[in-house]
Structure 1
């Protein structure tokens, strides 16, 4: 998708007088992420971590167990974020991966304004939706998480394993979450987001 089309969608989401300084399409980095924020108490019994569940998770990837998934992520991808349940990184990650998500493809957009860091999601499209579906997805873009710029302690782009384009956002509470783009794509938009947050 054309980057200028993302900009037009973002300009519709800002408050009056607020300016978008930089934006980038990115995904949460692969790897171990912060645990989700605390949820209301449930009646379900807590799961147990067993060697069998981890082994089955590796052998049968479609069968999932939370703790097994986390161990596989750690071994395969490393760490993509840290923070206590309920921290800024934990809340951001949950906003991007709500429970019970549908099977539609959505783009994640990071935008830095002169006031806030916005994290947005486009509307969902099916894999073979075509150009009209992409236009509808852009029209359905919404802010899923936002914080004042002062809540972002640092932002830097650097190497992680074989990918030289990983944006690490560290928040005032010490938690952090990483975002990446595919290796074949330019890292310039991520660097612009980091520079805008530092400026």
Structure 2
């Protein structure tokens, strides 16, 4: 087994709407914020954990390919499964796919980064009364973050199943770009169905060359 090359997808993540990826709420105060967003422990600036973007990409790709089985990620570990090849088969320590191909870096703040409080509640269907009010913290719209995703290509990836008309390592890159496209269509973080989490991936490059999500 030999690594052939390393592809890197770079760009920026722009918050079209407010965005919340949950932080620690160990200290709760009366009248305080119920759900905070994750922040750097030293600078206290918000950032987007790579694990959050990676998990959302995987989930969206599994949905597209019909690989959702219960609440568990795909763990089929077959050579024809690009999800398992790129992200690693779930709960399968022994398999023939080699190491996971994708490396998603934490997205660091570029511009903006101020936070806002959004009030949410539950509506009583019988009376129309708002119940259980709470405040959530979101990064404001138009903030931007870095995007860096690495894709490792190994010698046996020449036998990877084709995707979007591409073969080998190019198929792996195309599959990851498809994952970004699906996240852009739905959203990132919590509260997507209630208006939060809309993002747009901009200035995309693959190993220095301009690309788009189509």
* Bin of the TM-score, shorter chain as denominator length: under 0.3
Normalised by the size of structure 2, how large is the TM-score? 0.24
Mark the structure with the bigger radius of gyration: 2
Question: TM-score of the superposition, structure 1-length normalised?
Answer: 0.26
Quick check: which one's helix share is greater?
1
